[in-house]
Amino acid sequence: MAAHSYTTDDPGTRLELFDFAFDHAPIGIALVDLQGRILRANAAFAKLVGIPIEQVIDVHFRDFTHPDDLEADLILFEQVLQGKRDGYTIEKRYIQPLGTIVDVLIHVAAMRDGKGRVVRFISQIEDITRHKEHERQLAERAAQLELALEAVRGGFWQMDIQSGKFETSDRLAQFIGGQTAARLDLERYVSRVNINDGAQADLTPLISGELDQNVAEYRLDTIHGERWMRCDRRLLRDGDGRPVKIVGMAIDFTEERRRIEQLEETARTDVLTGLLNRRGLADEFSALSSADGFVVLALDLDGFKQVNDLYGHGAGDMVLCETAQRIQACVRKGDLVARTGGDEFVVVVAGSRATGMAAAERILEKMRDPVSITGGSAHVRASIGGVWTASKRDIQALINEADMLLYDAKASGKDAMQF
C-alpha cells in the first residue's frame, strides 16, 4: 500500500493535529463558552473535576469550583468578556463529586473571530495539589520554628565562605542590640564576644572544611548584659563537597549555666561523673589519714578538645565519664578521686611516693585504650603532675604544685608524668 503523506498546510491535517494534542495532552484542557459552560474537554480535565468526560459537557465551571475561589474567577472571566484583558492565570480549587479537593493552576485565553470578538475560551489546567501540600507543610514548619524561636533568646546567623559575608538574623541582632538594631557583620559580632572566649567562637575549622559541625559556648555582650551563648554551627557543602556556607544558631543558656555553677558550688560531688568536686575533695582530705604521707596527682586529658570539636559535647561527656571510671579502677577504695573542672582531675593517694607513682603509671596505661563513643571511638591520653608530702598540708596548695608539674609533663610531650 502506498504511503499517504500530509503537510501542515492542509486544514484537515492541522485539525487532526489539534484534536490529537487536545485529547492526549497530559494536562487538562477545556473549551468554554461565553456563559462559562464546558463545550469540550479532554480526559485529563475530566479526571481533575472527577466527572466522566461524557457528562462534563455543558457543565458550568462554577459547579466544580470551590465557593471561596469562585468570585475572583468570575471577575477575571467578565473582564475578558469586556475586552479589558485577553486572558488570565489563577490558582483555585476544584471540588469533585465525592468531596475531594484538587488544587489547580488555570491559564485562560480568549479565542476571537475575524472581527476580534470573543467567541469562546480555551483553558489549560495543571494539577498543583502536591505542590500546594508542600507549601502548606513548609508554612507549618516555618510557623512552628517561629514559635520555637519566640521561646528562646538568641537567633540565627550565616556566613558565605567564598565572599566572607557574615550576617545575623534580625532576631539575633535585636537580642544583642535592641529592637531597632541592624543586622551585625562578622567584625561587629566578634567584637561582642568576651575576649577570653575568642578561641571558642573561632570558625576556622568549619571554613577549612575540617569539621562539618561543632558546638561552641562563649559569653556575648548584649542589651541584657553579658550572656552565655551556646552556638550550634553547621557547614553546608556544594555538590562537589566544597564548603560554601556556615549557619549557626546561638541560644542564651545563661540561667542554665548559672544553675549548674550554683549546684557545683553547694554540692560535694560532680554532677556529670559522680566524683568528688573541689568542695568534696577538701572535706574528704581533711578527714584522710596516713602514716606514709600523701600523694596528690593533678591530671588532665590530651586531645580532649578535639573530641568536643569533632563529635560534640555529648561525646566529650562520655569520655569524661569513662575517664572517671578508669581512674577509680586504678586506685584503692580509700583514695580520693575528684573532677575539678573541664577535663581536669585530682587524685589523692594515701601512702608513700612510690605508691602514688605506681597509681599514676596505672592511670597512664589505662588511658591509652580508646574510649567508645556513639558512632566510633575517641583516642585521648593523660598527662600527670604529682607531689608527695610527708604531712598533711593545704590541699589547694598541693594541687597548685602538682599543676605546675602537670604543665612540665605536657611540655615534655604529653602522655607522661612529672613528680
Rounded CA gap, 96 and 51, in Å?
A: 7
Local confidence band at 304 (pLDDT 50, 70, 90 cut-offs)? very high
| Domain 152-256 identical in fold to domain 267-418 | no
Model confidence pLDDT, tens digit, residues 65-93: 999 999 999 999 999 999 899 999 999 99
- The yes/no answer on whether domain 267-418 falls in CATH 3.40.50.150 is no
pLDDT tens profile 263-299 = 766 788 888 999 999 999 999 999 999 999 999 999 9
CB 185 within 8 A of CB 169: no
Angle at 288 between CA 282 and CA 293, to 5 degrees: 110
**Phi (first) and psi of residue 333, to 5 degrees:** -60, -35
pLDDT at 325: 96
Q: Can you give the pLDDT at residue 186?
A: 92
Which comes out higher in pLDDT, residue 377 or 358? 358
- The average pLDDT across 177-206 equals 92
Domain range summary for the chain, segments of one domain joined by +? 11-132, 152-256, 267-418
Query: What percent of the chain lies above the pLDDT cut of 70?
Result: 95
Confidence at residue 310, expressed as pLDDT on a 0 to 100 scale: 84
How far apart, in Å, are the Cα atoms of 339 and each of 118, 248, 279?
87, 31, 11
The helix or strand, by DSSP H or E, that contains position 276, with its residue range, turns out to be: none
Residues with active-site annotation: 343
Q: How far, in Å, CA of 187 to CA of 182, rounded?
A: 14
The pLDDT tens digits for 383-417 are: 999 999 999 999 999 999 999 999 999 988 889 99
Cell of 231: 552556638
**How much is the mean pLDDT over the chain?**
90
Average pLDDT over residues 48-72: 95
| Residue entry with cell 492542509 | 10
Cβ neighbours, 10 Å, residue 340: 18
Average pLDDT score over residue span 108-132: 92
Q: What architecture is domain 11-132?
A: 2-Layer Sandwich (3.30)
Q: Does the pTM of the predicted model rise above 0.85?
A: no
CB 243 within 8 A of CB 212: no
CATH number 3.20.20.70 given to 152-256: no
